[in-house]
Amino acid sequence: MTEAGTPLGINRYANRRLYDPVAGAYRTLGDLAVLVEDDEDFVVVGAGTGGDITQSVLKQIIVERKYHG
């Protein structure tokens, strides 16, 4: 969560890269999985559309964890 108590905003670009503007760094699905485990709130937004794609990314994290541990 950011300092103001709002969820962390993550941008997902067309090339599937996840960017955290607060940290100024790219994130991996593994990084986001750690945020979930730490009960941190975040929102993933499609950079091209501005739409909320958090559910899609969370599903992808679940699938990755299932098949890759």
* Domain spans in the chain, listed from the N-terminal domain onward: 8-63
The yes-or-no verdict on residue 27 having pLDDT over 90 is yes
Give the pLDDT confidence of 29-49 residue by residue, as tens digits.
999 999 999 999 999 999 889
Which residue has 């996840």 as its token pair?
18
Which residue has 């994290």 as its token pair?
61
The yes-or-no verdict on residue 1 having pLDDT over 60 is no
The yes-or-no verdict on residue 23 having pLDDT over 80 is yes
Could you count the other beta carbons within 10 Å of the beta carbon of residue 57?
A: 20
